[in-house]
Chain A
């Protein structure tokens, strides 16, 4: 490991980690702003703006750009999250310079042509329709929409919101958000510091220089009271997708690591309580897990399982019981000792390549995670006590205020599912093609 942080002439910090094992260079260009601030009714604006970058730039058509990426032995991927965005690229070492030329052309001279804009709109609508086939994606979207409700994290791109976008709106969004003020850079692989500095300077020079850069501004979400069943109704389901949860943790909560450790016991490993009870003992679901989201605001806590349709109601009842026991009785000293060992030792696989270490830098910087969030991970896990873990579960995980989100066939199992959720205050049924 020989990572360093360079400072460019613009003041931008760049993570650089040369690694010569393979003839490939990893490039990550991040912006500390995402889609959460898309205007009301124009959800999908910033994602669409960033997608336009490879649909024409300078004298290059979309076809020219795609052919160039392939010819250079490169790949480019976009990640547009609610609170940040990034472009990840990989290129064969021998083609770093021509790829840099291409990349900086895309960033500095995006065409935003009318034809490509209209094509992107049609492509996006086709993708939304195709997405109806993926039940896991349907349950995730519905869960986020219900947990965050009117909060920016709960908004979703729809066919209607795509229709409201304009080409000028996309260009403005790109120029205001993808700028040096929001920029975070990281490079790893087969390059040296001088090459990294040159690459960074060229990217900075290529980016828009707006008079009023967009700044990330995302309010804290609020907990919604009561137990609410959201049923995404889809015909012919032999199996249900279930997510149960609500709000979880902030990375800078003093009890963040205690909660993270407790969650690992509850649903974070192959021998977790959820896996043992749902899969190993009963065979009800191929997978069963829980997770704590991490973001720049309080994220969600979610339990996931996917049982056969006939096991859906008993599985939900079991999950609610497990959650209740988790909150009321907490974890044991033996469990804590076990999970500490697991988390501390398995951390080696979070940092075993330069690319993974580079990604941790990006995540920490883009989300504004507390100092040492990743680098002090082992120390923070070891510092968790039984008392702090159990108190964190009591303070942060609600059993009264929960969303139970199911993708299944309502007429087959809807009534039974409702009957196993005590104190259910509301049931909402969404058609699976309500997009």
Chain B
């Protein structure tokens, strides 16, 4: 569609009774174009028409995640996400999923530290139903005790699955709890078990009224659609929902970390694990792309430096991974090592330290840099294969960075990097005095142990992101 066509549609749809809609702008997104519209109540709609298949993906993103929770109420954003599939003033409990399944829809949701998003994949002819139902639960959700009680049990079981009985989940939770002392990233998105079990319907009601409003949300639509008809449906369904007063965020950032922190977790696992968390940049920081490329060189795939030395040459590990957290605020650069039989934690640490120290001193080679960027490029292309993949990229970068075309900009930035840029980033972030280390040791007998009094209460564990649905 031409730019003028989008503008004409927006003008035609303006309606004093239902509320106005305006075209805010158009943004290139690879070979596609994204049109951004805004309703008078603040709801933004990002549309990418794609007729490669007769299907559409519809996503609703709320700018609320676990970082907006309070101590003692952790896990509320995630529990609430579950409750959004329950009852509304117009639909009985269970009817939301039932109606969508009858339409052949694939629907689910996910909660992160920074956001919550809901999505449906449907054939194009069923999109009006999705719009109607999503608008309904944005304003008319009903929260009653039986559903809240049952869903708390479901979430407690989800927590047992991804944290309590999962060694990596437990270790990740402990890493963030230890690394962050003030920032809300210190608690897990799924919440502490004691908090999950204590929630009441009134907690959920207050959360709903505070954060679930059109001016705290945006919609992403990718697929085979008639833009004019879709906007008309959106205006009709959402136009009358009132804005809400979203409380200003009051987050205390962590003071600079001045010394290394270590904690030991004992679990019934056959292998010692070491998880190291260096202070990392926010997704929107210029350094994020640089650190991602550095991580690819160090730990990305079987040709990476650490794989070649720790896995192949010295056979110290059975698994190793690196990840630069993609958060709104500065997070961690995580390195995870799983030792082979009889390989101790100190041996693992000294081996990975040896690799990290090399990039502090010497520049990586141009060939390594190009390989790393090619890996990232393929990975980006893979995320764009489906309608839902495109919608997720758009939503993620909109909510975290405020730039829907950021995936492409980041790739371009990576293609301009020099080996010297990587060494500068390495020196900025790979600082031993500002790292946190979790060591997982096999427990000799029963009973998990954590050498940390708060976590030892059995309320420990992780998940910086929780993707739901488990059938």
Give CA–CA (A351, B104) in the complex, Å: 14
Taking the closest CB of chain B, its distance from the CB of A242, in whole angstroms, is 12
- Whether, in the assembled complex, A96 has its beta carbon less than 8 Å from a beta carbon of chain B, the answer is no
Q: Interface with B: A101-109, A323-331, A336-344, A396-404, which one?
A: A336-344
Contacts of B375 in A (CB 8 A): 70, 73
Give CA–CA (A271, B99) in the complex, Å: 10
- Whether, in the assembled complex, B14 has its beta carbon less than 8 Å from a beta carbon of chain A, the answer is no
Give CA–CA (A349, B271) in the complex, Å: 40
Give CA–CA (A392, B155) in the complex, Å: 36
Give CA–CA (A135, B160) in the complex, Å: 12
- Whether, in the assembled complex, B340 has its beta carbon less than 8 Å from a beta carbon of chain A, the answer is yes
Contacts of A347 in B (CB 8 A): 104
Determine if B338 and A238 form an interchain contact, defined as CB atoms under 8 angstroms apart: no
Flag B342-385 by CB within 8 Å of A: 1 or 0 each. Answer: 00000000000000000000000001001110110110011011
Q: Interface with B: A32-40, A199-207, A274-282, which one?
A: A274-282
The residues in B between 89 and 119 inclusive whose CB is less than 8 angstroms from any CB of A are 93-94, 97-98, 101-107
Which residue of the partner chain, among B97, B123, B386, B470, contacts A271 with CB atoms under 8 Å? B97
Contacts of B202 in A (CB 8 A): none
Can you list 20 residue pairs at the A/B interface with Cβ under 8 Å? A63-B308, A67-B371, A71-B374, A73-B375, A74-B378, A129-B341, A130-B270, A130-B338, A236-B447, A268-B471, A270-B97, A271-B97, A283-B156, A286-B154, A287-B469, A338-B101, A338-B102, A342-B101, A345-B105, A346-B105
Determine if A341 and B53 form an interchain contact, defined as CB atoms under 8 angstroms apart: no
- Whether, in the assembled complex, A355 has its beta carbon less than 8 Å from a beta carbon of chain B, the answer is yes
Determine if A307 and B340 form an interchain contact, defined as CB atoms under 8 angstroms apart: no
Which residue of the partner chain, among B270, B341, B377, B471, contacts A289 with CB atoms under 8 Å? B471
Contacts of A282 in B (CB 8 A): 150, 153
Taking the closest CB of chain A, its distance from the CB of B195, in whole angstroms, is 17
- Whether, in the assembled complex, A237 has its beta carbon less than 8 Å from a beta carbon of chain B, the answer is yes
- Whether, in the assembled complex, A145 has its beta carbon less than 8 Å from a beta carbon of chain B, the answer is no
Give CA–CA (A70, B372) in the complex, Å: 7
Flag B302-318 by CB within 8 Å of A: 1 or 0 each. Answer: 11000010011001001
Determine if B150 and A433 form an interchain contact, defined as CB atoms under 8 angstroms apart: no
If A70-B301, A239-B161, A348-B54 touch, whether A127 touches B318 (CB-CB below 8 Å) is yes
- Whether, in the assembled complex, B7 has its beta carbon less than 8 Å from a beta carbon of chain A, the answer is no
Contacts of A346 in B (CB 8 A): 101, 104-106
Determine if B381 and A92 form an interchain contact, defined as CB atoms under 8 angstroms apart: yes
Contacts of A237 in B (CB 8 A): 165
The residues in A between 344 and 380 inclusive whose CB is less than 8 angstroms from any CB of B are 344-349, 351-353, 355
Give CA–CA (A70, B369) in the complex, Å: 11
Contacts of A344 in B (CB 8 A): 104
Determine if A130 and B271 form an interchain contact, defined as CB atoms under 8 angstroms apart: yes
Contacts of B445 in A (CB 8 A): 235
Determine if A22 and B384 form an interchain contact, defined as CB atoms under 8 angstroms apart: yes
| Number of CB contacts from chain A to chain B under 8 A | 188
Residue of A nearest to B167 (CB): A133
The residues in A between 243 and 284 inclusive whose CB is less than 8 angstroms from any CB of B are 267-272, 275-276, 279-284
Contacts of B153 in A (CB 8 A): 282-284
- Whether, in the assembled complex, A122 has its beta carbon less than 8 Å from a beta carbon of chain B, the answer is yes
- Whether, in the assembled complex, B448 has its beta carbon less than 8 Å from a beta carbon of chain A, the answer is yes
Determine if B94 and A280 form an interchain contact, defined as CB atoms under 8 angstroms apart: yes
Determine if A70 and B270 form an interchain contact, defined as CB atoms under 8 angstroms apart: no
- Whether, in the assembled complex, A149 has its beta carbon less than 8 Å from a beta carbon of chain B, the answer is no
The residues in B between 161 and 207 inclusive whose CB is less than 8 angstroms from any CB of A are 161, 164-168
Contacts of B105 in A (CB 8 A): 345-346
Chain A interface size band reads: 35 or more
If A92-B377, A236-B448 touch, whether A342 touches B104 (CB-CB below 8 Å) is yes
Determine if A345 and B447 form an interchain contact, defined as CB atoms under 8 angstroms apart: no
If A238-B165, A349-B55 touch, whether A283 touches B303 (CB-CB below 8 Å) is no
- Whether, in the assembled complex, B158 has its beta carbon less than 8 Å from a beta carbon of chain A, the answer is yes
- Whether, in the assembled complex, B19 has its beta carbon less than 8 Å from a beta carbon of chain A, the answer is no
Taking the closest CB of chain B, its distance from the CB of A29, in whole angstroms, is 19
Give CA–CA (A284, B155) in the complex, Å: 10
- Whether, in the assembled complex, A24 has its beta carbon less than 8 Å from a beta carbon of chain B, the answer is yes
The residue among B121, B308, B311, B471 with the most chain A CB atoms within 10 A of its own CB is B471
Contacts of B168 in A (CB 8 A): 133
Residue of B nearest to A279 (CB): B154
If A130-B271, A280-B94, A348-B54 touch, whether A67 touches B303 (CB-CB below 8 Å) is yes
Give CA–CA (A119, B340) in the complex, Å: 13
Flag B6-32 by CB within 8 Å of A: 1 or 0 each. Answer: 000000000000000000000000010
- Whether, in the assembled complex, A21 has its beta carbon less than 8 Å from a beta carbon of chain B, the answer is yes
- Whether, in the assembled complex, A62 has its beta carbon less than 8 Å from a beta carbon of chain B, the answer is yes
Flag B437-457 by CB within 8 Å of A: 1 or 0 each. Answer: 000000101111000000000
Which residue of the partner chain, among B271, B302, B378, contacts A90 with CB atoms under 8 Å? B378
Determine if B154 and A132 form an interchain contact, defined as CB atoms under 8 angstroms apart: no
Give CA–CA (A198, B93) in the complex, Å: 57
- Whether, in the assembled complex, A69 has its beta carbon less than 8 Å from a beta carbon of chain B, the answer is yes
Contacts of A275 in B (CB 8 A): 471
Taking the closest CB of chain B, its distance from the CB of A52, in whole angstroms, is 14
Can you list the 7 inter-chain pairs with the closest CB atoms, starting with the nearest? A345-B104, A283-B153, A287-B470, A66-B303, A126-B318, A73-B374, A346-B104
Flag B202-226 by CB within 8 Å of A: 1 or 0 each. Answer: 0000000000000000000000000
Determine if B157 and A308 form an interchain contact, defined as CB atoms under 8 angstroms apart: yes
Contacts of B151 in A (CB 8 A): 283
- Whether, in the assembled complex, A112 has its beta carbon less than 8 Å from a beta carbon of chain B, the answer is no
- Whether, in the assembled complex, A79 has its beta carbon less than 8 Å from a beta carbon of chain B, the answer is no
Residue of A nearest to B375 (CB): A70
If A73-B374, A239-B157, A270-B97 touch, whether A342 touches B102 (CB-CB below 8 Å) is yes
- Whether, in the assembled complex, B319 has its beta carbon less than 8 Å from a beta carbon of chain A, the answer is yes
Contacts of B447 in A (CB 8 A): 236
For the complex with contacts A75-B378, A286-B157, A345-B103, 17 further pairs of A-B residues with Cβ separation under 8 Å are A67-B371, A70-B374, A71-B371, A130-B318, A132-B269, A236-B447, A237-B165, A239-B161, A267-B471, A270-B107, A283-B154, A286-B155, A286-B161, A342-B101, A349-B55, A355-B385, A433-B270
Determine if A239 and B154 form an interchain contact, defined as CB atoms under 8 angstroms apart: no
- Whether, in the assembled complex, B387 has its beta carbon less than 8 Å from a beta carbon of chain A, the answer is yes
Taking the closest CB of chain A, its distance from the CB of B129, in whole angstroms, is 12
Taking the closest CB of chain B, its distance from the CB of A271, in whole angstroms, is 5
If A67-B303, A129-B270 touch, whether A270 touches B165 (CB-CB below 8 Å) is no
Determine if A270 and B469 form an interchain contact, defined as CB atoms under 8 angstroms apart: yes
Taking the closest CB of chain B, its distance from the CB of A106, in whole angstroms, is 14
Determine if A22 and B98 form an interchain contact, defined as CB atoms under 8 angstroms apart: no
Which residue of the partner chain, among B101, B102, B158, B443, contacts A236 with CB atoms under 8 Å? B443
Residue of A nearest to B193 (CB): A238
Residue of A nearest to B125 (CB): A345
Contacts of A21 in B (CB 8 A): 31, 52
Taking the closest CB of chain A, its distance from the CB of B315, in whole angstroms, is 6
Contacts of B123 in A (CB 8 A): 345, 348
Give CA–CA (A75, B126) in the complex, Å: 36
Determine if B385 and A235 form an interchain contact, defined as CB atoms under 8 angstroms apart: no
Contacts of A285 in B (CB 8 A): 154, 157
Taking the closest CB of chain B, its distance from the CB of A263, in whole angstroms, is 12
Give CA–CA (A65, B374) in the complex, Å: 15
Determine if A271 and B94 form an interchain contact, defined as CB atoms under 8 angstroms apart: yes
Determine if B371 and A349 form an interchain contact, defined as CB atoms under 8 angstroms apart: no
Which residue of the partner chain, among B93, B101, B340, contacts A269 with CB atoms under 8 Å? B101
Give CA–CA (A21, B386) in the complex, Å: 11
Give CA–CA (A340, B297) in the complex, Å: 49
Taking the closest CB of chain A, its distance from the CB of B440, in whole angstroms, is 10
Which residue of the partner chain, among A267, A271, A281, contacts B101 with CB atoms under 8 Å? A271
Determine if B315 and A287 form an interchain contact, defined as CB atoms under 8 angstroms apart: no
- Whether, in the assembled complex, B152 has its beta carbon less than 8 Å from a beta carbon of chain A, the answer is yes
- Whether, in the assembled complex, A234 has its beta carbon less than 8 Å from a beta carbon of chain B, the answer is yes
- Whether, in the assembled complex, A184 has its beta carbon less than 8 Å from a beta carbon of chain B, the answer is no
Flag A383-419 by CB within 8 Å of B: 1 or 0 each. Answer: 0000000000000000000000000000000000000
If A24-B378, A285-B157, A342-B102 touch, whether A239 touches B164 (CB-CB below 8 Å) is yes
